[in-house]
Amino acid sequence: MTDNRHARAQDFFAKSLVEEISSADRAWLDQHLGDCPDCAREILSTQNLLTALRSVPISMPHDLASRTQLRVRLRAQEHPETSPSNFLLWIITGMSWLLGIFSAPLVWHGFAWMGAHFSIPKLALEFAFVLWWVAPALFAVGAVLHQKAIVSAWSNKN
């Protein structure tokens, strides 16, 4: 039971350094520290150590905040899944796929009409139809890869 009271006193003291503890817990801690010289001595030495650590001067570069903000932005760009522009890209991609699915029969009829009027072989029409839907995706992939290369080159310079 004695060890449990000492551990409880240490927990209350640690909590009191970080956040407010209830008045009942504060009263219990004060009572325990008055009755237990070992805990009182340990807490006093901890307070003296914290005071000494707080008095140590720490010099920081004047531009630390701006450099940290820059690093955070660069790190966020490395993870595009958290980027708001990525969400917009997913919405546009989804709309593109829906439009592609619903307009595919109309586009195919247009290719069939061209094939019938200009005597284009069916294999060429099928290839053109697939290319019609794949080309925008290839351009989008190229744009994303190009953007990643620019960000990578820029972050390597800094």
Which two structure tokens, joined as six digits, stand for 27?
Answer: 């009263």
What Cα–Cα distance (Å) separates residue 49 from each residue in 23, 26, 81, 142? 25, 21, 44, 58
CA distance 34 to 40: 7
Q: What pLDDT is stored for residue 81 in this prediction?
A: 55
12 contact partners, CB below 8 Å, separation of at least 6: 21, 25, 26, 28, 29
Per-residue pLDDT of the chain (158 residues; tens, 9 = 90+): 457 888 999 899 889 888 889 999 999 999 999 999 999 999 999 889 888 888 888 887 888 888 888 888 887 777 655 556 667 777 877 888 888 888 889 988 998 899 899 999 989 988 988 888 888 878 878 887 887 787 777 767 65
Residues 148, 60 contacting (CB under 8 angstroms): no
Spans of all domains in the chain? 2-54, 64-157
Has this prediction a pTM greater than 0.85? no
- b/e map of 82-120 (b: 16 or more CB within 10 Å)? eeeeeeeeeeeeeeeeeeeeeeeeeeeeebeeebeeeee
Cite the DSSP H helix spans in the chain.
2-18, 23-35, 37-54, 64-78, 84-118, 122-157
Torsion sign, CA atoms 103, 109, 115, 117: negative
Q: How far apart (Å, rounded) are the C-alpha atoms in residues 112 and 125?
A: 7
Token pair listed for 114: 């061209």
Residue pair 122/104 in contact by the 8 Å Cβ criterion: no
